[in-house]
Amino acid sequence: MTNLINKIRTGISASLFLPALLLLIAASPVFGNGSPEGLPLEPSRTAMETIEGTESAVFAGGCFWGVEGVFEQLRGVQEVVSGYSGGDADTASYYKVGSGKTGHAESVRIEFDPAQISFEKLLEVFFIVAHNPTELNFQGPDIGTEYRSVVFYSDDVQKVTTEQFIRKLEAAEIYKDPIVTEVVPLDEFYPAEDYHQDFLRLNPGHPYIVYWDLPKIRHLEKMYPDLIADK
């Protein structure tokens, strides 16, 4: 944990959480994370079968584009899917979730090989790189309960591991503000619409990605070069 603390204190920079001025830019229709014109509004209901030999983790930390993009970089991660968790099946679509009234949070499901990367290491990346766990019901330019910070645990091991990790961060005073991440049981994960999947990888020049998410990738490469998968 000491090594982690030193890395965090020397590694976190303003590039991860951009100036407030960019809020106005990113919130505009051109720069926001709405669906591209003409694309379907309802999610693609693909089966979410666990890949043989892997485990899964479900995290929510703001817009799923960037969170998904971060975890797709990691060695041992087999698949990352953007979706919705925390609400019912009939409200698990982008525009319904965007109302902030469905109980859903924009989430990602990570299929990983525990022989290559541990659940705790995924937590470390989630809390240190993928989002800011002290922002209550918002991340960057995105405001609402659908952008809240959540670890949706699938068993008691994930629950205890997450709670212990949060206590370590708090004891080390990594953040000056309290961590507001919810730790709640996973009820169901619903895959998002096809046009949201692999969005960062497929749209690296999208203004939202450039301003808000590529800095996370650079931060990941700086702090955890040993975790990056071979291209």
**Residues classed as catalytic:** 63
Calpha distance 130→135 (Å, rounded): 13
Query: Tokens at residue 76, please?
Result: 């041992």
What's the half-sphere exposure (Cβ side, CA atoms, 13 Å) at 109? 23
Q: Please report, as a single letter, which amino acid is at residue 148.
A: R
Calpha distance 129→215 (Å, rounded): 10
SS3 222: helix
- How many helices (H) and strands (E) the chain has is answered by 9, 8
Query: Tokens at residue 42, please?
Result: 């309802």
Phi/psi for 15 (5° steps) reads: -65, -20
Beta strands 149-153; 182-185: pairing state: parallel
